[in-house]
Structure 1
Amino acid sequence: MKIVIIDYGAGNIQSIQFAIKRLGFEAILSNNPIEIQQADKVIFPGVGEASSAMKMLIESGLDKIIPTLKQPVLGICLGMQLMCKHSEEGNTNGLGIFDVNVVKFSNAVKVPQMGWNTIFNLKSKLFENIKENEFMYLVHSFYVPNTDLAIANTNYEVEYASALQKDNFYGVQFHPEKSGKWGEKILENFLNL
């Protein structure tokens, strides 16, 4: 199986690569459109700020490639947010794969939300053999409000979408690669899709 982690300068890619290796697979890092298009599975990570990450995607031409992919694609953290239509972070237009907007938590709560929180309302093969209210590791100040595309929810100030799915595109707000054995199980489920 050919697994490609998109390397566009805004991802915490090594911890994802190590997690895939622990599952017995090799993942290559690439920003080459042809290599990405030929992969069996694509992981789209993201750490940092939305507008600068989007700028790097546009400069590399990957903003045109990612929405056209036909194989399973998993966006992680900022990767998921960039797959949305728009983000309040840096007033950034995203890839528009998920027809939802990303908004900021209010000042009523500590931001970023950092640490462990539960996921529930699990729908999708991505969460096969994962129990309701399992803990995942999150670090984020912006979120996707609840939507029909949600395949998992989390509560922090509001109930929001902590995972999304549309067709072959999946997104998780949490970091499966930092979420212990259940996070790794989610990555394994993704590789088995």
Structure 2
Amino acid sequence: MDTGKYIESGVLEEYCLGLLSEEEEAHLIQMTMLYPDIKAELTAIENAMEKLANLNAIEPNPSVKQKVLLALGFDDPGMLNMDDLPVIRHACDPEPWISLFSHLIPDEPVADFVSHLIRDDEDVQQMLVISKVNVPEEEHGDMLESFFILQGRCECTIGEDFYALGPGDFVEIPLHKKHDIKLVTSHVTAVLQYRFI
């Protein structure tokens, strides 16, 4: 094989840019194992691209970073303030919540259902819930119910829609939609949230 021609074809650069199909990537990796000069050239290209990326990297404007963090519901993604909990609006990292409320989360719950009120104001009510039981079908017309899974897995049916949920998942239930929750694991720990309308 003419390895020089293979190197000059541009396939190594395409690999580094993620432009190859799985089959083409597998072939290239096989070539690097068979031909040391191809492997050396690929390593050189990867190093050059990394150096170029580092030279052109910029630290985002602090206000942009703050806006992103606020949009995610956190001032600092690793910290939560018990006295100023964010309204949860999307899936996110459950670890800051677990860390903040670790004193309320047992390794193995004894009771079938435990609820701790963690936020209660004119806009939002949030509860840390630990459940070993399914939630039967229900419907709400005066508040938006949602929940954010911290630990465990469950299945939620909302109208005709089905959701398989695990740690970090968030689902909001529209008004006047029948819904139920079936546990898949022995228990589920979640933040149950009501937004009043």
Fold conserved between structures, TM > 0.5: no
Aligning the two structures, in what range does the TM-score lie when normalised by the shorter sequence? under 0.3
TM-score by length of 2: 0.27
Task: Report which of the two has the higher share of strand.
Answer: 1
